[in-house]
């Protein structure tokens, strides 16, 4: 049987009866055979029926909750009873994944509980490919929710479940050893998945059209322009200098904090020196503002006695629009044809409609969401994907300027 790219429910059910793991090449991250093998092992280990259906779309089931709906309809066609069905498919404008339990099979809420235990700060899916996400959730259910933290974490670290490493950030800043860069891998994996969709034609066009339509609806709320952002960054850096003097009086910062504060401060200053207040300076000015806030947060935590954040993580801005301030929560944001889980401010975390910061680039100065340009800021996600944003930014400055 060929690969199922646009099956009806009946075709999909028939295929799953023959082989309970349906993963086309386009979802295999270049390791499709390993992915299929790994999923087969999981399916065979379970003492209840498990099915995995990854398909770009299912005929007539493409609404916002399509993955769950497909699982439920497949369950009926596969004879009902105890079962777990994992579905990755088109949901409205994007692709979504659901692992759904039926009958007396272990409840799917166990996967959510394992995620909140193992990633209390959010970001549970960072670094995982979509098949990896399915493999991990199924494994949690196989273990009745009793999964060792090391096993849980291993999925985002090991082939074939982690996001493809070929898409890691360039640069020699050592970020490759740092867990958060897996998100970056996922981000660029998203573009790879997008490329696969071009091959599959129709779906890509529909996704792109829907996405454009979503971005064109309504008028964006007023946001600070380049001049305001520059002024704000200057104020933040002045405040930082004062606070830093106070912190030094109290015995100084720890080594890691000091390196982060100094690196962020110097890089922000350099950025401000090299930019003006033009439209095409906005991206870099926001970079300076974010760096200043990273440094201030580090100092403030020290002065207040709160100490570093868990795992030495930095302050991270709202991914949707870094001008919003801290990304205290997470949400899934459409980037290319995928949804990425990223830090978001409270307003954006709850908002139905997102207004990503738009920046101008290219000869015509066309504006697009900042993460659609190829810049050091999109590669580092303004800190969503790296722990030390100043490092890649400083590298880019040394290499002749921050790319636009």
Q: How many CB atoms lie within 10 A of CB 362?
A: 11
Binding test (CB under 5 A) with Zn ion, winner from 67, 237, 348, 357: 348
Task: Compare residues 314 and 317 and give the one whose CB is closer to Zn ion.
Answer: 317
Task: Please give the angle made by the CA atoms of 383, 220 and 362, to the nearest 5 degrees.
Answer: 60
> Residue from 345, 357, 384, 396 that binds Zn ion (CB under 5 A)?
345
Q: Find the shortest distance in angstroms from Cβ 34 to Zn ion.
A: 38
CB of 187 to Zn ion, least distance (A): 18
Instruction: Give yes or no for residue 324 binding Zn ion (CB under 5 A).
Output: yes
What the block records as the tokens of 85 is 């069905």
Interface region with Zn ion, contact rule CB under 5 A, candidates 14-22, 113-121, 216-224, 318-326: 318-326
Give the total of residues touching Zn ion (CB under 5 A).
Answer: 5
Q: Is 286 in the site for Zn ion (CB under 5 A)?
A: no
Nearer to Zn ion, 67 or 344 (CB): 344
Q: Are 36 and 21 in contact (CB under 8 A)?
A: yes
| 333 binds Zn ion per the rule CB under 5 A | no
In three-state form (DSSP H/G/I as H, E/B as E, the rest C), the secondary structure along 287-300 is HHHHHHHHHHHHHH
Least distance (Å) between residue 97 CB and Zn ion: 24
For Zn ion, which is the closer residue by CB, 132 or 343?
343
Give min distance, CB of 283 to Zn ion, in A. 16
Q: Compute the least distance from the CB of residue 323 to Zn ion, in Å.
A: 8
| The token pair that represents 88 in the structure block | 């990755």
| Shortest spacing between CB 322 and Zn ion, in angstroms | 8
Q: Are 330 and 230 in contact (CB under 8 A)?
A: no
Binding positions for Zn ion, 102-141, rule CB under 5 A: none
Shortest distance in whole angstroms from residue 69 CB to Zn ion: 30
Whether 75 and 102 have beta carbons less than 8 Å apart is answered as yes
Secondary structure in 3-state letters for the chain: CCCCCCCCHHHHHHHHHHCCEECCHHHCCCCHHHHHHHHHHHHHHCCCCEEEEECCCECCECCCCHHHHHHHHHHHHCCCCCEEEEEEEEECCEEEEEEEEECCCCCCHHHHHHHHHHCCCCCCCCCECHHHHHHHHHHHHHCCCCCCHHHHHHCCCCCCCECCHHHCCCCCCCHHHCCCHHHHHHHHHHHHHHHHHHHCCHHHHHHHHHHHHHHHCCCCCCCCCHHHHHHHHHHHHHHHHHHHHHHHHCCCCCHHHHHHHHHHHHHHHHHHHHCCCCHHHHHHHHHHHHHHHHHHHHHHHHHCCCCCCHHHCCCCECCCCHHHCECCEEEEEEECCEEEEEEECHHHHHCCCCCCCEEEECCCCEEEEHHHCCCHHHHHHHHCCCCCCHHHHHHHHHCCCCCC
Q: How far is the CB of 356 from Zn ion (least distance, A)?
A: 9
Q: Which tokens is 223 given? A: 């946001």
290 binds Zn ion per the rule CB under 5 A? no
Choosing from 39, 291, 320, 335, the residue that interacts with Zn ion (CB under 5 A) is: 320
User: Closer to Zn ion at the Cβ: 135 or 333?
Assistant: 333
User: What is the per-residue binding string for Zn ion in 201-230, x denoting contact by CB under 5 A?
Assistant: ------------------------------
Q: Which region, judged by CB under 5 A, interacts with Zn ion, from 218-226, 273-281, 297-305, 310-318?
A: 310-318
Identify which range of 158-166, 199-207, 263-271, 311-319 contacts Zn ion by CB under 5 A: 311-319
Query: Which of 218, 363 has the CB closer to Zn ion?
Result: 218
Residue 169 or 290 with smaller CB distance to Zn ion: 290
Tokens standing for 36? 């299929």
CB of 404 to Zn ion, least distance (A): 23
Residue 342 binds Zn ion (CB under 5 A): no
Instruction: Please report whether residue 293 would count as binding Zn ion according to CB under 5 A.
Output: no
Question: What residues from 360 to 389 belong to the interface with Zn ion (CB under 5 A)?
Answer: none
Q: How far is the CB of 351 from Zn ion (least distance, A)?
A: 8
Select from 54, 147, 257, 318 the one that contacts Zn ion (CB under 5 A).
318
Question: At closest approach, how far in Å is the CB of 94 from Zn ion?
Answer: 19
Binding site for Zn ion (CB under 5 A): 318, 320, 324, 345, 348
């Amino acid at each position: 049987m060929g690969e199922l790219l646009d099956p009806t429910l009946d075709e999909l059910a028939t295929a799953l009866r023959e082989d309970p793991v349906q993963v086309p090449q386009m979802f295999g991250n270049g390791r499709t055979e390993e992915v299929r093998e790994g999923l087969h092992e999981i399916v065979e280990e379970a003492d209840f029926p498990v099915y995995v259906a990854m398909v770009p779309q299912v005929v007539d089931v493409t609404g916002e909750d399509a993955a769950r709906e497909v699982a439920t309809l497949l369950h009926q066609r596969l004879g009902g009873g105890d079962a777990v069905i994992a579905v990755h498919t088109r949901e409205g404008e994007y692709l979504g994944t659901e692992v759904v339990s039926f009958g007396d099979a272990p409840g799917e809420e166990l996967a959510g509980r394992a995620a909140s235990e193992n990633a209390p700060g959010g970001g549970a899916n960072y670094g995982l490919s979509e098949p990896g996400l399915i493999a991990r959730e199924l494994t949690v259910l196989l273990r009745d929710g009793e999964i060792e933290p090391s096993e849980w974490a291993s999925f985002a670290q090991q082939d074939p479940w982690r996001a493809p490493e070929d898409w890691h950030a360039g640069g020699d800043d050592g970020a490759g050893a740092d867990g958060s860069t897996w998100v970056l891998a996922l981000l660029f994996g998203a573009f790879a998945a997008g490329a696969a969709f071009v091959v599959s034609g129709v779906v890509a066009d529909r996704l792109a059209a829907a996405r454009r339509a979503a971005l064109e609806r309504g008028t964006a709320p007023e946001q600070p322009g380049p001049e305001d952002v520059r002024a704000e960054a200057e104020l933040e850096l002045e405040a930082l200098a004062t606070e830093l003097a106070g912190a030094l009086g109290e015995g100084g910062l720890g080594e890691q904090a000091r390196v982060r504060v100094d690196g962020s401060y110097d890089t922000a200053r350099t950025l401000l020196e090299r930019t003006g207040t033009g439209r095409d300076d906005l991206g870099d000015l926001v970079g300076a503002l974010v760096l200043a806030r990273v440094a201030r947060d580090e100092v403030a935590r020290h002065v207040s006695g709160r100490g570093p954040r868990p795992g030495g993580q930095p302050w991270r801005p709202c991914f949707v629009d870094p001008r919003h301030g801290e990304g205290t929560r997470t949400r899934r944001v459409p980037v290319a044809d995928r949804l990425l889980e990223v830090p978001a401010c409270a307003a954006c975390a709850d908002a139905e409609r997102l207004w990503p910061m738009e920046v101008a680039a290219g000869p015509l100065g066309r504006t697009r969401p900042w993460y659609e340009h190829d810049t050091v800021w999109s590669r580092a996600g303004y800190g969503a994907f790296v722990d030390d944003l100043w490092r890649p930014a400083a590298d880019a400055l040394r290499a002749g300027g921050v790319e636009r």
